[in-house]
Amino acid sequence: MHQTNLEPALLAISLSRQSAEPLQAQLAHALRTLIDRGIAPPGARLPASRAFAAELGVSRATAVAALDQLRAEGYLASRRGAGVFVAHNLPDAPDAAPRPPSPAPPRAGALAPPPPTAPRPFHPFEGGADETLFPYRDWARLLEKSWRAPDRAALCAPDPFGWPPLRRAIAAHLAAWRGVEDDGAPIDPARVIITAGAADAASLIARAAFAPGGAIALENPGYRPTERRFQAAGLAIVDAPVDANGLDPERLPTADGCFLTPSRHYPLGVALPLARRRALLEWAGAAAAPRALIEDDYDSEYRYEGRPIPALAALDDGAHVLYLGSFSKVFSPTLRLGFLVAPARLIGAFADAIAADGPQASLIPQPALAAFMESGGYAAHVRRMRRRYGERRKALIAALQVTIGDDLKPAPEPSGMHLVCRFSPALAARLTDAEASARAAEAGVSARALSSFYRDPGAAPFQALILGFSAFETAALEAATHRLALALRP
């Protein structure tokens, strides 16, 4: 093991309290740079966090948070009793893959670490896929293969609905994974539209499936960013009340359509019961003009016990449900690709809506993604992630039990990418979830308050924190749970 003396390099780290960037992020960035440049080589040991913090003139919490972050990113490793070391398998060389002989200096064109202008840190318990587990080598090969000698016609006049083979692959995936079929066969790929993600899909849906000035019901609590897009597109927003079983069709207000998360309510995590699904489909068909049910099936792939629940679209006769799928939860939000399945009756309206601005999704990743799906690589990755995230979920539940005990009780739904952790009466008497969330943020932990998902935070039926587990290794989840416990102390 190296016994490199890192002290001079660490002392040279300069942090600015005037910067808009938090000290912790500055520190993490500086450490990453030292490691990437080989100044802190693999195996080099870092000082204990207390000494480290003192040397740099920051609080120990800041130092711990920066070290935890780099550990979660794979830059650092720790051994019990022996301290923290620069990792031997640095992030730019995945463990399993053969490694070029001299990985130290960043290669031109490779994704080198971001420069000083760079982004916010990624905090434990934030949501999303673990992008570090994606099979990037395969993906890079598929990108190369698909663009080496592309078809001219497809480039000069690309299909505004997206790359056709990708749309076929999606139709096949939906039949196999989500029960979305047409007479036992995959749906017509002509109904599949590639989008640049949820915001793009919402803009298109507002124009294609609603009359100008129409009203859309959104789940409350629910995913607020979508609301802004529908509103910007000129729709009136009305609230669809949600109870412990999800959206309640009995209390659905007057509207021309409804946006919902039936497979796993966001953020409560419950699956909508069959009777409610049937009632919604009835509601959709009961008006003079068909109403639109927009099903956001955002993380349906991740169900850790039992069988996945078929999509609402699988119950529909193909006339009312607009199915929204995402690649963000499996691959990465950086892909900026999602898709929607439109009823046949709306295909023309979607074509018009897309013609107004042109397609917003980049074509660059589409052929590679189609090949990835066709080859089975995509399904294999989903299955691998399902196993891995299931383990992480269990690890977080265990860590919460050991470290925090009864004060935070995770909801039992064995699915998704986050836990809804309900406050004990004792904790709720001391703190609101918004206060708890603020304390966690100060400790470098991202724990969103359930009440923040309600239009009126006071309307939340209980206090809870939302903890994402999918993007972090077990050790990072445990460390973050520990910090959360400290932050919640009286």
Binding to its own copies (CB under 8 A): which residues in 37-96? 73-75, 91-94
22 sits near its own copies (criterion: CB under 8 A): no
Q: Which two tokens stand for residue 212?
A: 């100008």
Q: Which is nearer to its own copies, 229 or 276 (CB)?
A: 229
DSSP for 57-103, please give it: TS-HHHHHHHHHHHHHHTSEEEETTTEEEE-SS-TTS-TTS---S--
Closest distance between its own copies and the C-beta of residue 431, in Å?
27
Q: Judged by CB, which is closer to its own copies: 144, or 317?
A: 144
Q: Which of 45, 64, 66, 121 binds its own copies (CB under 8 A)?
A: 121
Taking residue 115's Cβ as centre, other Cβ atoms within 10 Å add up to 8
Q: Is 289 near its own copies (CB under 8 A)? A: no
In the complex with its own copies, the residue whose CB is nearer, 50 or 145, is: 145
**Residues 223-252 interacting with its own copies (rule: CB under 8 A):** 225, 228-229, 232-234
> Is residue 97 a contact residue for its own copies (CB under 8 A)?
yes
Binding residues for its own copies restricted to 428-487, rule: CB under 8 A: 471
Q: Which stretch binds its own copies (CB under 8 A): 114-122, 258-266, 306-314, 480-488?
A: 114-122
158 to 177: interface string for its own copies, x by CB under 8 A: xxx---xx-xx---------
The answer to whether 96 and 90 have CB atoms below 8 angstroms apart is no
- Do 189 and 168 touch, CB atoms closer than 8 A? yes
Structure tokens at 39: 């100044």
Closer to its own copies by Cβ: residue 108 or 429:
108
- Phi, psi for 466 (deg, rounded to 5): -105, 115
Number of residues near its own copies (by CB under 8 A)? 90
Q: What angle do CA 233, 228, 246 make, to 5 degrees?
A: 115
Q: Contact between 137 and its own copies (CB under 8 A)? A: yes
Helix H or strand E segment including 340: strand 338-341
CA distance linking residue 247 with residue 270, whole number of Å: 10
For its own copies, which is the closer residue by CB, 167 or 291? Answer: 167
Instruction: Give the DSSP letter string of 227-244.
Output: HHHHHHTTPEEEEEEEET
Among 79, 80, 120, 489, binds its own copies (CB under 8 A): 120
Q: In Å, what is the CA distance from 58 to each residue of 6, 27, 55, 465, 479?
A: 18, 10, 8, 28, 19
Distance CA 429, CA 437 (A): 15
Among 127, 262, 365, 468, binds its own copies (CB under 8 A): 365
> Which of positions 383-422 make contact with its own copies (CB under 8 A)?
none
CB of 32 to its own copies, least distance (A): 6
State the nearest-atom distance from the C-beta of 249 to its own copies, in Å.
Answer: 29
Nearest CA to 172 out of 18, 428, 322, 378 is that of 378
User: Residue 21, interface with its own copies (CB under 8 A)?
Assistant: no
3-state secondary structure 391-439: HHHHHHHHHHHHHCHHHEEECCCCECCEEEEEECHHHHHHCCHHHHHHH
Shortest separation between residue 405's beta carbon and its own copies, angstroms: 30
Site for its own copies in 326-355 (CB under 8 A): 332-337
